[in-house]
């Protein structure tokens, strides 16, 4: 345990004493799960690079790949170059390609680990002249690049398509064209506007129910080329409704960082697998909980995962697109990187009050690996802000 002074919502300073972290059993090997589980992984910035962080990107490749090794050690798959890695929000396509190449090289040295890689259209220059055919060519270019590296694909939502499409038929045309070409089944990703405002109206409708009909139609027409779909709408009701209508053999990967525990546990009609940014931040708890679920201990699963849900809801609170700041902050508190510096200068995207509450919730969820280290680092951050 450790004691430190933290600011409160009432603008006062109060003493806080930490509890005990989750202790994983030493098995010597990654645990087995009865759910497919990917963590969307962040990138570690290079704090010593002499760049303008709002304009340029510098990645510490060694620490970034070491973080993926840490996730694999816990039995989790890695969803690479996704929005958690600040794709399109600091990490461009050139950087994503390098990240994917390095991560795939690391995965080849570890037979059996899971990795899937995001493809999109983020190298298209924004502008009113971008059309649907340009979107198709952009997807094809990225797919070809990643398939040339033998990478499995996650087809990310396209900002360019959201802007160029005139309606649902354009989405059917784009996805039908690219899915016919892929070498192996892909994971689709429906990223809601709460994560990226530029994706409002995706699938050709502002109403999620209408959008879902278009998406389900595309999946039905291309089911043999689709492993599953990850939806990130932060609504368990919408996810369950869609999950129950998926074709046989097509997985639902929960992207609901508000309700993941109950969605993964499932009900009498099915369950969701997982592809979650929060699993980056709570990886040991996710691993321990999934191992309990695989052993038939549903109560134990909820006992580990449910306390992490308030933490996740705080990290992903609106504006949700700034959740990456909380993910990286927790990696720093837990000693998984040596600094709290982010690509794009995004360490400044959340307030000190937000980070202080994150510390409390992480402790209550028992996901501070070493409370003494976490308290020491939190105290240093407070001192930088004049709260020594």
The per-residue pLDDT for range 332-371, each reduced to its tens digit, is 999 999 999 999 999 999 999 999 999 999 999 999 999 9
Structure token digits, residue 235? 């609504």
Query: Domain for residue 358, yes or no?
Result: no
The per-residue pLDDT for range 266-293, each reduced to its tens digit, is 999 999 999 999 999 999 999 999 999 9
Query: Domain for residue 24, yes or no?
Result: no
What DSSP assignment string belongs to 137-205?
Answer: HHHHHHHHHHHHTT--EEE---HHHHHH--SHHHHHHHHHHHHHH-SS-EEEEEE-TTT-GGGTTGGG-
> Where are the extended beta strands (E) located within the chain?
3-7, 13-17, 37-40, 77-80, 115-119, 153-155, 186-191, 226-232, 251-254, 273-276
Give dist(CA 25, CA 3) in Å, integer.
27
- Boundaries of domain holding 172: 31-321
Query: Domain for residue 78, yes or no?
Result: yes
Give dist(CA 122, CA 86) in Å, integer.
12
Taking the alpha carbons of 327, 40, 89, 215 in that order, is the dihedral positive or negative? negative
We report the CATH number of the domain holding residue 102 as 3.20.20.70
**Backbone dihedral region of 207: left (phi > 0), alpha (psi from -120 to 50 degrees) or beta?**
beta
Query: Domain for residue 360, yes or no?
Result: no
Give dist(CA 259, CA 316) in Å, integer.
12
Query: Domain for residue 364, yes or no?
Result: no
Is residue 294 classed as helix, strand or coil in its secondary structure?
A: helix
Query: Domain for residue 213, yes or no?
Result: yes
Which has more pLDDT, 32 or 114?
114
Nearest to 152 by CA among 227, 42, 223, 67: 227
Give dist(CA 21, CA 244) in Å, integer.
37
Is residue 83 classed as helix, strand or coil in its secondary structure?
A: helix
Give dist(CA 338, CA 45) in Å, integer.
10
Is residue 50 classed as helix, strand or coil in its secondary structure?
A: coil
The per-residue pLDDT for range 81-112, each reduced to its tens digit, is 999 999 999 999 999 999 999 999 999 999 99
> Taking the C-alpha atoms of 191, 231, 219 and 187 in order, what is their torsion angle to the nearest 10 degrees?
80
Q: What is the pLDDT of residue 309?
A: 98
Mean confidence (pLDDT) of the chain: 96
Give dist(CA 15, CA 4) in Å, integer.
6
Give dist(CA 61, CA 340) in Å, integer.
16
The per-residue pLDDT for range 15-43, each reduced to its tens digit, is 999 999 987 766 667 788 999 999 999 99
The per-residue pLDDT for range 128-187, each reduced to its tens digit, is 899 999 999 999 999 999 999 999 999 999 999 999 999 999 999 999 999 999 999 999
Q: What is the pLDDT of residue 26?
A: 65
18, 1 in Cβ contact below 8 A?
yes
Query: Domain for residue 52, yes or no?
Result: yes
Is 70 exceeded by the pLDDT of residue 226?
yes
Taking residues 48-76, what's their average pLDDT?
96
Per the structure, the count of domains in the chain is 1
pLDDT confidence of 1, banded at 50, 70, 90?
A: confident
Determine the distance from the C-alpha atom of residue 50 to the mean position of all C-alpha atoms in its chain, rounded to a whole number.
28
Query: Domain for residue 118, yes or no?
Result: yes
Structure token digits, residue 158? 């396209």
DSSP 126: P
- State the angle between helix axes of 208-221 and 236-243 in degrees (0 to 180), rounded to the nearest 10: 30
């Amino acid at each position: 345990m450790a004691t430190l002074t933290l600011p409160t919502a009432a603008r006062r300073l109060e003493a806080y004493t930490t509890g005990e972290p989750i202790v994983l059993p030493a098995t010597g090997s990654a645990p087995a799960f009865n759910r497919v589980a990917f963590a969307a992984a962040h990138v570690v910035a290079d704090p010593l690079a002499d760049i303008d962080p709002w304009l340029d990107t510098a990645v510490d490749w060694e620490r970034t790949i070491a973080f993926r090794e840490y996730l694999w050690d816990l039995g989790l798959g890695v969803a690479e170059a996704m929005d958690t890695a600040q794709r399109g929000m600091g990490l461009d396509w050139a950087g994503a390609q390098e990240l994917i190449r390095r991560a795939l090289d690391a995965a080849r040295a570890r037979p059996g680990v899971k990795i899937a890689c995001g493809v999109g259209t983020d190298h298209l220059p924004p502008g009113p002249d971008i059309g649907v055919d340009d979107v198709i060519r952009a997807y094809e270019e990225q797919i070809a690049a990643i398939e040339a590296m033998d990478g499995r694909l996650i087809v990310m939502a396209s900002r360019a398509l959201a802007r160029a499409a005139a309606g649902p038929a354009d989405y059917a045309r784009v996805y039908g064209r690219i899915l016919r070409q892929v070498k192996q089944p892909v994971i689709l990703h429906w990223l809601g506007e709460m994560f990226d405002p530029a994706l409002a109206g995706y699938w050709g409708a502002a109403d999620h129910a209408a959008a879902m009909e278009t998406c389900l139609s595309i999946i039905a027409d291309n089911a043999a080329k689709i492993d599953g779909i990850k939806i990130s709408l932060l609504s368990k009701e919408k996810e369950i409704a869609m999950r129950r209508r998926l074709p046989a053999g097509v997985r639902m990967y929960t992207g609901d960082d508000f309700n993941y525990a109950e969605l993964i546990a499932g009900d009498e009609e099915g369950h969701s697998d997982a592809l979650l940014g929060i699993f980056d931040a709570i990886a040991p708890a996710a691993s321990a909980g999934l191992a309990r679920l695989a052993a038939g201990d549903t109560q134990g699963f909820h006992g580990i995962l449910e306390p992490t849900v308030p933490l996740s809801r705080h990290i992903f609170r609106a504006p949700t697109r700034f959740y990456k700041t909380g993910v990286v902050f927790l990696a720093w508190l837990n000693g998984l990187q040596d600094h709290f510096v982010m690509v794009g200068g995004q360490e400044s995207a959340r307030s000190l009050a937000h980070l202080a509450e994150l510390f409390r919730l992480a402790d209550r969820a028992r996901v501070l690996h070493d409370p003494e280290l976490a308290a020491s680092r939190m105290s240093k951050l407070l001192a930088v802000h004049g709260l020594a």
